[in-house]
Chains A and B, each alone.
Chain A
Amino acid sequence: MFHGLADATRRDIVERVLREEQSVSALARRYAMSFAAVQKHVAVLERAGLVSKTRRGREQLVRGNPDILRTVARLLESYEQIWRHRARAIDDILAEDDDPERT
């Protein structure tokens, strides 16, 4: 099971490769961990569809997938709207307390 973007390194990798395509070795130089560990993080992100990997010569290049991140933003936006409606409906219920005709 994919653990979302709960891991800070994975979030950082996604941010970087969304801005610019990067090789796994360039990414590995940025973190205090082994090449293999970074490669593992990239593999997790790739399985989740957040990044895609292409091979160019000896290099593996990683690129972000903005479509998926847009989907996430859209879904979270939908939930925000739902909560706006809920807060308004709660307010209507609370307002009835002050209305003597409805007690």
Chain B
Amino acid sequence: MAVISTNKDTEALTMTFVAEFGAPVKRVWQVWADPRQLERWWGPPTWPATFTEHEFTEGGRSAYFMTGPEGEKAAGWWRITTLDAPNRLEFEDGFADDDGNPVSAMPSTTSAITLEAIDSGTRMTSVTTFATLADLQKLSEMGMEEGMRSAMAQIDTLLAED
């Protein structure tokens, strides 16, 4: 696996991430389509995800929760807006309450995923978009940043092993 490029656009409020994998496009698509594979990589290292619903079709919904180090739970949802197997996926990702109902007062993000065949396997591009600056600030205020910082520390440890 190689991270090819990343680009943070503070004005358009997007983060673009490009990585390449040594497996065919159809195989990489499966890690998105199969909830048992998806939940092994979606959550941050200290907050593994469990998908309770995964309606992998255009207009479909998914429901998941992530479990924190103290056993605390954070629930989320997806709404799939575009699905063109095995190359393109777009979805909205938001927060849910304990019963799995979307919390509309909380900001959601939009992700556009593209898988393309290359000689060595697959190039995956992910573009995460925040609708508004107010959303980004809210995520910051919610302590999202703290949780992510602990995830980053763990990632740094992993990277140091290389």
Whether A and B are associated in the same complex: the answer reads yes
Chain A residues proximal to chain B, CB less than 8 Å? 1-6, 11, 14, 48-50, 68-69, 71-94, 97
Find out whether the CB atom of B136 lies under 8 angstroms from the CB atom of A75: yes
A78 to B19, CA, bound (A): 17
Find out whether the CB atom of B17 lies under 8 angstroms from the CB atom of A72: no
Residues of B within 8 A of A79 (CB): 15, 128, 148
A82 to B28, CA, bound (A): 18
A75 to B14, CA, bound (A): 10
Find out whether the CB atom of A4 lies under 8 angstroms from the CB atom of B42: no
If over half of A's interface residues share one DSSP class (helix, strand or loop), that class is named, otherwise mixed; here it is helix
| A75-B145, A97-B23 given; A89·B40 CB < 8 A | yes
Chain B residues proximal to chain A, CB less than 8 Å? 1, 3, 6, 8-15, 17, 19, 21-23, 27-28, 31, 37, 40-42, 44-45, 124, 126, 128, 130-134, 136-137, 139-140, 144-145, 148-149, 151-152, 154-155, 158-159
Residues of B within 8 A of A73 (CB): 8, 10
A73 to B41, CA, bound (A): 24
Residues of A within 8 A of B136 (CB): 71-72, 75
Smallest Cβ-Cβ distance to A15: which chain B residue: B11
Residues of B within 8 A of A49 (CB): 133, 137
